[in-house]
Structure 1
Amino acid sequence: MSFNSAMILLAIIIAGGATALQAPTNARLAVALASPVNAAFMSFAIGTVALGLLAAVLHTKADLAAAKALPAWAWFGGLYGCVFVITAAWGVPRLGAALTITLMVAGQLLLSLVLDHFGALGVPRHPIGIGRLAGVALVFIGVVMVRRF
């Protein structure tokens, strides 16, 4: 594995860890703001400011012609993020961070298998095989173990 590949994998693992931090952080915010929707709104507002500052620092420039040519589904990422943040903020106080995140990862993996298998939404095709199914099954076994023990 090259240094660049290792750095990419590490960055993705760190981003995954950030989602584990995001859930209890937004859950605490939801209690203070009396609603997971209010917490998600504040979370996205802070995230929007952070992204604006990052775009300014990096001098990023959008390709408006390419943006106009996108299919409608390409604009829905923020909506999926809303579902994730609200559900995490709601779930953590009820189920705990570990079970909430484990269930979310299980759902992500299950749908990811389908997306990969069909090459949906522009992802590269990776057929469902016994190894991939076993990997997802192990995550579901992990959900049961986190829930029961």
Structure 2
Amino acid sequence: MIASLSKISSYKSMNPIITLSPAILGALVVLQAGLNRKVASQWGLSAALLLNAVVLLIVALLIFALVLVKADWFSNTIRPSIDFKTFSIWFLLPGIIGCILVFGGPWAIAKWGAAQTFILLMSGQLLASLIWDLKVEGIAVSYVRLLGIGFTWIGVILACKWK
């Protein structure tokens, strides 16, 4: 309990942008899917997906080049340290999952609307994050976290049933 309280107090002293970054990222996910839906309505969803992939490749290459040229500007976690001997086929999964998200977000918004899509998406994220924390990070599942997720799912049911 004391350890978790010290974590909370350390969060208060953080940079507000860093503290709010998950919420900002969440808003960007909705914005990206909504904008992709607009592109898809004129060009088709597969073309919107391809456009996203091309833009991502260009931006990623520019960032990669900047990090190589100005490595001292970036932390070790951002600097590349590629060793092809350590490559595993599962390294491709994040890209495949990203493709599914870029394709699925606009489709789901067109079918159910943004609010219902992202309420359902959040409930899936909460369950997946609990499992990830337990299995990958070794963080125990507490009753408080389960209760919080339970309340969220009650909200999901209410939001999806009475739109």
Question: Which bin holds the TM-score, normalised by the shorter protein?
Answer: 0.7 to 0.9
- Root mean square deviation, CA, Å: 2.0
Q: Match of 2:140, SS?
A: coil
Aligned partner of 2:47: which letter? N
In the superposition, the TM-score normalised over structure 1's length comes to 0.83
Alignment equivalent of 1:95, drawn from 90, 102, 112: 112
Structure 1 segments of 4+ aligned residues over 4 angstroms from their partners: none
In the superposition, the TM-score normalised over structure 2's length comes to 0.76
Query: What is residue 139 of structure 2 aligned with on the other side?
Result: 126
What does 1:66-105 align with in structure 2 at a 5 Å threshold?
A: 67-105=84-122
Render the CA deviation track for 1:32-61: whole Å, top value 9, x for unaligned: 112x23222211211221222222233365
What does 1:58-73 align with in structure 2 at a 5 Å threshold?
A: 58-59=67-68, 62-65=80-83, 67-73=84-90
Q: Match of 1:126, SS?
A: coil
Measure how far apart 1:9 and its partner are: 2.4
CA distance in 2: counterparts of 1:68 and 1:6, whole angstroms: 39
Q: Match of 2:141, SS?
A: coil
Measure how far apart 1:26 and its partner are: 0.8
Tell me if 1:55 matches 2:39: no
Identity %: 26
Alignment equivalent of 1:39, drawn from 24, 39, 48: 48
CA distance in 2: counterparts of 1:25 and 1:86, whole angstroms: 12
CA distance in 1: counterparts of 2:17 and 2:32, whole angstroms: 22
CA distance in 2: counterparts of 1:38 and 1:145, whole angstroms: 35
Confirm or deny: 8 A CA contact 1:39 1:89 kept in the other structure.
no
Q: Match of 1:104, SS?
A: helix
Render the CA deviation track for 1:89-146: whole Å, top value 9, x for unaligned: 1011111111111111111111111111112xxxx21122211112222222222222
Confirm or deny: 8 A CA contact 1:33 1:39 kept in the other structure.
yes
Q: Match of 1:127, SS?
A: coil
CA change 1:53–1:143 in 2 (3 A) is same
Measure how far apart 1:21 and its partner are: 0.5
CA distance in 2: counterparts of 1:28 and 1:110, whole angstroms: 30
CA distance in 2: counterparts of 1:74 and 1:132, whole angstroms: 30
Unpaired runs of 5+ residues, structure 2, are 1-9, 72-78
Unpaired runs of 5+ residues, structure 1, are none
Larger Rg: 2
